Amino acid sequence: MFSALLIANRAEIACRVMRTARRLGVATVAVYSDADKDAAHVAMADKAVRLGPAPARESYLRGDLILEAAKATGAQAIHPGYGFLSENAEFAEGCARAGVTFVGPPPGAIRAMGLKDRAKALMTKAGVAVVPGYLGEDQSPKRLAQEADKIGYPVLIKAVAGGGGKGMRKVERAADFAAALDSAKREAKSAFGDDNVLIEKYVARPRHIEVQVFADNHGNAVHLFERDCSLQRRHQKVIEEAPAPGMPAEMRAAMGAAAVKAALAVGYSGAGTVEFIADASQGLKPDRFWFMEMNTRLQVEHPVTEAITGFDLVEWQLRVADGEKLPAMQTDIRIHGHAIEARLYAEDPATGFLPSIGTLERLRLPAGVRVDSGVREGDAVTPYYDPMIAKVIAHDGSRKSAAAKLAGALKQTQVAGLRTNNAFLIRALQAPDFLAGEIDTGFIERHLDALLPAREPDDDVLAAATQFLAQEHKRSADPWDARDGFRLGGVSRQAIEFVIADERVAVPIAAGAPEGIDVMRLQNGDLAAMRDGETFVLKLYDPMESAGSHGVASDRIATPMPGKIVQILVKEGERVKKGQPLAVLEAMKMEHTLAAPAEATVEAVQVVAGDQVAEGTVVVRFAKEAA
């Protein structure tokens, strides 16, 4: 085994790899950008090397700098994690030229599976069924639209170099195809440097089921069973589990065999995931699944496979990269129980899962389950990288008990300082259809109203907040800290005024605080009240602030986070309808559409395409409506 390993990634996966490396007695080297100089993975490593500024293209995507760091620190191998350079054949070749072991598949396998159109052609040749679609080289909009018409709507537009939902659009009708194609190609170009796309038939009740494969350099290849990743928002996974619910033994065998065949067809080595789409309209059947793509790297959701098999997949990666044979053969691999993983994101489900940036002023992660995280309380979630806070994984004897265990763990979780999807995850895990195994990739969209947690506090939360403020006042000798509701000419001294749903509300100070609600003051003066995994942000009424904020919510559209304006869709003087797209913002590696909140007339457009904008930048201002 090599003595020193550099991890060419950040946050959760870097920490995850380091834990296994440390157990195996391998020294670790971290790399970091300026935004990550105080990050958890930097503190955890034996050595750390600065790469450059915060943007990934100037730091984590600089293969030359990473190779220089390996040379300077004596690292004999590089683990790319997932994302960034993990599926970059040129980087793998650069490692070989530098005499450094790349912990991943050979460059040829990365190239073979890196472009979806070529990968599907290769799988067809190898006898693996693929989804019907257009994989041709003619990328003209006219030809692509014609092929979509032939396939029949709905269709999926997918970036050939894509992943993580980037460059992917579902199109329901021909009239929407041109706009969806333009958006998909633009996002693909930004994310991958390649705007070529393929067109694919959209399966009506699709289940996203993937198979973990492993191969060594001695001709051995195995699968470690399947994972179901059907619960997705914006084409990105939210909850993953292993094994797939309702999977017949015959289909499991067929899918596993197809995945191994796919790996052997490209001379694979190391960890990989073969992704299939299954038609669940009549239940899972061995003749109703098709190859979608192969991810030539470790996956975010690998912990559920580790839980049900008992193997450390990172250890397997390191041993295979070091020239060893696979630690187990197919007959040695068994399924033990059920595991479910939830991805805790800094995002707001109520605003279409827009990322939420800010400081983790409170971060309490649960005990009794596996938690993989790369952030700590006090760390910042920035606009530069994926907003995942942690992965929480529960393993138990049955799917039902694993779901209950995971939901219970998430109820122990406390996060304040930014919005998260934690309460949303709890509701998803407790949804009757989820527990019944009635899942597909449209699950979240169908059940969204039931899964979204309440945004406004109830009486118990407000009571706890008033008690917190009363106790805070008792602890302070400063009379201006008083939270007793006193206002000159105002309300009772026994009430506290909050702003709830944009309304000024006087709440009587409670005689006692309800149990199970934890309240804290945030840096900006707001309160965070936490109960059973939900966090309510409470704003105190400030007459001075209120006087200067009239019209903020109704007369303009502002950016919800820093990013780049990639498209302006309206012009001054135009009359727009509620929900009409006004502009497209690129942030956190995804495109976000800014839409009109109501019918209005555009008075001014205050940015242009290409502008880099800060959070809160006014994009469109609306004219005042006549009374």
- pLDDT tens digits, one per residue of 16-36: 999 999 999 999 999 999 999
Which residue has 């060893």 as its token pair?
Answer: 324
- pLDDT tens digits, one per residue of 232-281: 987 789 999 999 999 999 999 999 999 999 999 999 999 999 999 999 98
Chosen domain end from 143, 178, 201: 201
Does 345 lie in the same domain as 253? yes
pLDDT averaged over the chain? 91
Does 590 lie in the same domain as 607? yes
| Of the candidates 152, 158, 161, 212, the residue with the CA atom closest to the CA atom of residue 181 | 158
Which residue has 């068994």 as its token pair?
Answer: 334
Token readout for 508 is: 């009587």
Q: How confident is the model at residue 492 (pLDDT cuts 50, 70, 90)?
A: very low
- pLDDT tens digits, one per residue of 359-398: 999 999 999 999 999 999 999 999 889 999 999 999 999 9
Does 367 lie in the same domain as 225? yes
Does 582 lie in the same domain as 443? no
Active site residues: 297
- 243 preceded by a cis bond (ω within 30 of 0): yes
User: Considering the domain boundaries, does residue 110 fall inside one?
Assistant: no
User: Considering the domain boundaries, does residue 356 fall inside one?
Assistant: yes
User: Considering the domain boundaries, does residue 230 fall inside one?
Assistant: yes
> One-letter amino acid identity for 276?
F
Give the pLDDT score at 147. Answer: 95
Does 524 lie in the same domain as 441? no
Backbone angles phi, psi at 451, to 5 degrees: -90, -20
Tell me if 619 sits within 8 A of 606, measured CB to CB. yes
Chosen domain end from 172, 201, 230: 201
Q: What is the mean pLDDT of residues 588-617?
A: 88
Does 463 lie in the same domain as 438? no
Tell me if 112 sits within 8 A of 303, measured CB to CB. no
Q: What is the mean pLDDT of residues 529-556?
A: 74
Chosen domain end from 547, 567, 599: 547
Give the pLDDT score at 547. Answer: 43
Tell me if 624 sits within 8 A of 555, measured CB to CB. yes
Give the pLDDT score at 475. Answer: 73
Give the pLDDT score at 545. Answer: 58
Does 470 lie in the same domain as 601? no
Q: Is 35 helix (H, G, I), strand (E, B) or coil?
A: helix
> One-letter amino acid identity for 508?
P
Does 332 lie in the same domain as 467? no
Give the pLDDT score at 624. Answer: 85
* Percentage above 90 pLDDT, the chain: 73
User: Considering the domain boundaries, does residue 627 fall inside one?
Assistant: no
CATH code of residue 93: 3.40.50.20
Expressed in angstroms, the distance from the first to the final Cα of the chain is: 76
> Please, what is the Cα angle at 276 between 270 and 278, to 5 degrees?
155
Q: What is the mean pLDDT of residues 147-158?
A: 93
Q: How confident is the model at residue 477 (pLDDT cuts 50, 70, 90)?
A: low
Which residue has 């201002």 as its token pair?
Answer: 621
Q: What is the mean pLDDT of residues 77-99?
A: 96
Token readout for 397 is: 């004897």
User: Considering the domain boundaries, does residue 119 fall inside one?
Assistant: no
CATH code of residue 436: 3.30.470.20
User: Considering the domain boundaries, does residue 109 fall inside one?
Assistant: no
Give the pLDDT score at 471. Answer: 87
Give the pLDDT score at 548. Answer: 40
Give the pLDDT score at 208. Answer: 96
Does 603 lie in the same domain as 510? no
Q: What is the mean pLDDT of residues 400-411?
A: 98
pLDDT: is 223 or 495 the higher one? 223
Token readout for 485 is: 């509701």
Give the pLDDT score at 481. Answer: 54
Torsion of CA 145, 146, 149, 154, to 10 degrees: -30
Among the ranges given (161-170, 183-192, 340-349, 474-483), the one the predictor scored with the smallest mean pLDDT: 474-483
Which residue has 């350099």 as its token pair?
Answer: 217
> Please, what is the Cα angle at 79 between 74 and 81, to 5 degrees?
145
Instruction: Indicate the helix (H) or strand (E) that contains 504.
Output: strand 503-508
Does 321 lie in the same domain as 259? yes
Among the ranges given (154-163, 259-268, 467-476), the one the predictor scored with the smallest mean pLDDT: 467-476
Does 563 lie in the same domain as 543? no
Q: What is the mean pLDDT of residues 50-79?
A: 97
Does 388 lie in the same domain as 303? yes
User: Considering the domain boundaries, does residue 74 fall inside one?
Assistant: yes
Give the pLDDT score at 532. Answer: 97
Q: Is the predicted pLDDT of residue 201 greater than 70, yes or no?
A: yes
Number of domains into which the chain is organized: 5
Q: Is the predicted pLDDT of residue 315 greater than 70, yes or no?
A: yes
Give the pLDDT score at 352. Answer: 85
User: Residue 613's beta-bridge partner residues?
Assistant: 563
DSSP state of 549: -
Q: What is the mean pLDDT of residues 461-475?
A: 89
User: In angstroms, rounded to a whole number, what is the distance separating the alpha carbons of residues 524 and 132?
Assistant: 53
Q: Is the predicted pLDDT of residue 476 greater than 80, yes or no?
A: no
Give the pLDDT score at 554. Answer: 67
Give the pLDDT score at 502. Answer: 81
Q: What is the mean pLDDT of residues 576-603?
A: 87
Give the pLDDT score at 268. Answer: 96
Sheet holding 47-52, edge to edge: 47-52, 27-33, 4-7, 77-79, 101-102
User: Considering the domain boundaries, does residue 127 fall inside one?
Assistant: no
Q: Quote the domain boundaries for residue 136.
A: 132-201
* Percentage above 70 pLDDT, the chain: 94
Q: Is the predicted pLDDT of residue 488 greater than 50, yes or no?
A: no
Q: Is the predicted pLDDT of residue 543 greater than 80, yes or no?
A: no
